[in-house]
Amino acid sequence: MTPAGRLVTLAIYLVLHTGSVRSATAGPSPPDTFANSIGMRFVRIEAGSFMMGQDDGGDWDERPAHKVTIRKPFLMAVTEVTNAQYEHFDPEHGRLRGKLGFSTDDDEPVVFVSWHEAARFCQWLSKKESRPYRLPTEAEWEYACRAGTSMAYSTGEELPEVYLKSQTQTWQPKPLALKAAGAPANAWGLYDMHGNVEEWCLDWYGPYQGGMQVDPVGRASGDFKVTRGGSHSTKISFLRSANRLGALPTDKSWVIGFRVVIGHVPDTEPIPAPAPPLNQRNVSQEIPANLAKGPDPSTPYFKGPVEYVKIPSGSNGPMYSEHNHDPALVDCPNGDILAIWYSCQDEPGRELAILASRLRYGSNQWEPASPFWDAPDRNDHAPAFWFDGRSTILHFNGLSAAATWGNLATIMRISTDSGATWSKARLINPEHGLRHMPVESVFQTREGFLVLPCDAVTGGRGGTAVHISRDGGWTWRDPGAGRANPSFAAGTTGGWIAGIHAGVLQLKDGSLLAFGRGNNIDERMPMSLSTDMGETWAYKASEFPPIGGGQRLILRRLRQGPILFVSFTDRRTGMLIQDAAGKERCVFGMFGALSFDEGKTWPVKKLITPGGPPRELDGGGNTGRFVMDETHAEPKGYLAATQTPNGLIHLISSKQYYLFNVAWLKQPAPAR
């Protein structure tokens, strides 16, 4: 060991075992602190007990508050790891200084660092100095943050302005200075425990257990590693001592850094992974022999609508009764139908999570909603499904760096057991930004390519990108990335689809056809066509009325060959259709259309309603309550659909479920 290393080791020993240390160099050190060989300063954290969590005024995952005992003292870095300190380990990280305008200087916390990289830094430093450097456990972090206090912040029930760094919900990264120790330390000498940047912790994230705990180390496994402390550019409430956040251990962003502790990992056992949610319990692995058997395909068949979103009123996490929207739908190998959607209080909020409901094979009742996937305190905008028709279901989702859908990365998960279990989420578009918000329109081309449409913008117009994988989902390419914004005018070409939330499919000649919302052409819905697998698109007006806020269409090829299109009429003028007597009538709301010539004409158009006398229904999402009768269907909704082997079309809006066959869609409305 070098002389400098021996001095550091002696200093650590004195702090841990005597509570004090004298500087081995000129001048005295502050009480109970020392600096290691790369300039990191540490303070001794004594053993003790505290109440972890927050019952009143906190989030659902901070309950129940419970007593925790930390049995042994440890040393904690007084600041987050800085750029200068981290680059002793990884000089190449210097290339990321100033990315998106963040963390340029030596004394600013290192950001754009994954949990795995933070852990490797600790391993490197442990080897370098022969001491046990590591990330703090979540319990150690909160204990040190509170510094003997029990209120919302270590400063009391309010956080003084000196600690605040753009504490608002931002859509896009807004650079600002992140100098370490720029605000006062807490009572135990620790800086930036409230804000600046989030800090990786050792633990896998999972729900709390009640009762007294000693040296807890979190869950045995999970998708997310805990982060703590909140950050710049987020609401103040996320900076509370008890607030829990989490991220994929491979994720990197401008809001997450880390600090380290010295001490052995507590020898307690992690808590087992929590019981699976309802949608993953008792999932049959039998493949029914009669999956293809159903109602006579030549006889019209229709059922619904019935509600599939079932959440108790007043729910405030992990399920929210306030706002449920943007569904995805898939039929499973075992015959079940699985629906997922996002649930929140406010669409841009960090609380937004993905829920699910399962319609078991042979049942006519959707199960109550249950959690499906949720990055803690990160907006999980826009789910999508794809089923290969044999054994594999893919789940795609956006993952925000914090709040809003303005800075999403994209993840993919895999299930081969009808959704009973899922692989850990993998970042397929790891950079947080635009063009990464999945649309429920995933399909496979005849060449075997997977096509994942993603909104290219955050607003109601501006187009849809397509991401294409030629290796089964392992790697993805966005052929329109980097191209100039297209004009979307009729007769022009551009690098991506006209309109957001686009429905996309492959025509029999190999070209791609798409319809989208916004970027209307001649006051009609835009139609986009690509003959080079999404490299360029040509635009023209379709025959369909445009759609707007709270509306998303469906475009998919049916098993029988025709193309199904489901959308909405103009809310004021409606649409003229022919009834069984050949007379025109004006209808309003959601309609289905069929094309038998690859989208050139759409001879079948029908309102999707069971008819009958007027009745009021709840459309959920942005739809709200509406009246349905023979000439009025749902006026709005985000749509998703799948077709099962028996030929039935399963259609969901933001809250309602419909079931029908092609024969019903082709049957004209009854004559008056």
Mean pLDDT within 522-533? 97
Burial 263-290 (b: 16+ CB within 10 A, else e): beebeeeebeeeeeeebbeebbeeeeee
The pLDDT value given to residue 26: 29
Nearest CA to 659 out of 279, 343, 331 is that of 331
What pLDDT score does 142 carry?
98
Predicted pLDDT of residue 544: 98
> CA 496, 499, 500 angle in degrees (round to 5)?
95
Alpha-helix runs per DSSP H in 247-313: none
Residue 667 pLDDT more than 80?
Answer: yes
Mean pLDDT of the chain: 94
Residues of the chain with CATH 3.90.1580.10: 45-262
Q: Other C-beta atoms within 10 Å of 578: how many?
A: 14
For the stretch 314-337, pLDDT in tens is 999 999 999 999 999 999 999 999
**What is the Cα–Cα distance from 186 to 183, expressed in whole angstroms?**
9
- The set of residues, in sequence order, having a beta carbon less than 8 Å from that of 540 and lying 6+ positions away, is 490, 491, 521, 526, 527, 529
The letter for the amino acid at 509 is D
Amino acid letter, residue 383: P
CATH class of 303-436: mainly beta
List Cβ neighbours of 442 (8 Å cut-off, separation of 6 or more). 384, 385, 386, 394, 396, 450, 451, 452, 453
Contact 167, 236 (CB under 8 A): yes
Instruction: List the structure tokens of 244.
Output: 């829990």
Contacts within 8 Å (CB) and 24+ apart, 174-180: 174/101, 174/233, 175/100, 175/101, 175/102, 176/102, 176/232, 176/233, 177/108, 178/102, 178/103, 178/108, 178/109, 178/111, 178/232, 179/105, 179/107, 179/108, 180/79, 180/80, 180/82, 180/107, 180/108, 180/109
How high is the pLDDT of residue 122? Answer: 98
pLDDT band at 368 (very low <50, low <70, confident <90, very high): very high
Which residue reads 């029999």 in tokens?
A: 508
d(CA 331, CA 338): 6
Question: For residue 32, what pLDDT is reported?
Answer: 64
Residue-wise pLDDT tens digits, 618-642: 999 999 999 999 999 999 999 999 9
Letter string b/e over residues 368-392, b meaning 16 or more CB atoms within 10 A of that residue's CB = ebbbbbbbbbbbbbbbbbbbeeeee
**pLDDT of 433-490, one tens digit each?**
999 999 999 999 999 999 999 999 998 889 999 999 999 999 999 999 988 889 999 9
Q: Whole-angstrom Cα distance, residue 222 to residue 250?
A: 13
Q: What is the pLDDT of residues 108-142, one digit of tens each?
A: 999 999 999 999 999 999 999 999 999 999 999 99
Give the β-pairing of 133-134 and 261-262.
Answer: antiparallel
Computed on alpha carbons and rounded to an integer, the radius of gyration of the chain in Å comes to 28
Q: H helices then E strands: how many in the chain?
A: 5, 43
> Do the Cβ atoms of 502 and 453 come closer than 8 Å?
yes
Average pLDDT over residues 201-209: 97
CB 640 within 8 A of CB 317: no
Using DSSP, state whether 557 is helix, strand or coil. strand
What pLDDT sits at residue 20?
34
pLDDT digits (tens, 9 = 90+) for 186-196: 999 999 999 99
* Cis bond upstream, residue 184 (ω within 30): no
Non-local (6+) Cβ contacts of 57 within 8 A are 152
- Name the nearest CA neighbour of 499 among 531, 466, 535, 467: 466
Element (H, E) at 3: helix 3-18
Reported CATH class of domain 45-262: alpha beta
Helix or strand holding residue 386 (H, E)? strand 383-387
Counting Cβ atoms within 10 Å, is residue 646 exposed (0-12), middle (13-18) or buried (19+)? middle
Cα end-to-end distance, the chain, whole Å? 95
The answer to whether residue 3 scores a pLDDT higher than 70 is no
Task: Please state, in angstroms and as integers, the Cα–Cα distance from residue 403 to each residue in 35, 174, 349, 415, following that order.
Answer: 36, 13, 5, 27
Residue 24, token pair as written in the block: 């081995």
Residue intervals of the chain classified under CATH 2.120.10.10 are 303-436
User: Residue 29: which of 14, 17, 48 has the closest Cα?
Assistant: 14
6-36 pLDDT tens trace? 444 434 443 444 333 322 222 333 346 789 9
Per-residue confidence (pLDDT) for residue 671, from 0 to 100: 83
Pick the more confident residue, 34 or 432.
Answer: 432
CA atoms 199, 202, 206, 211: torsion sign = negative
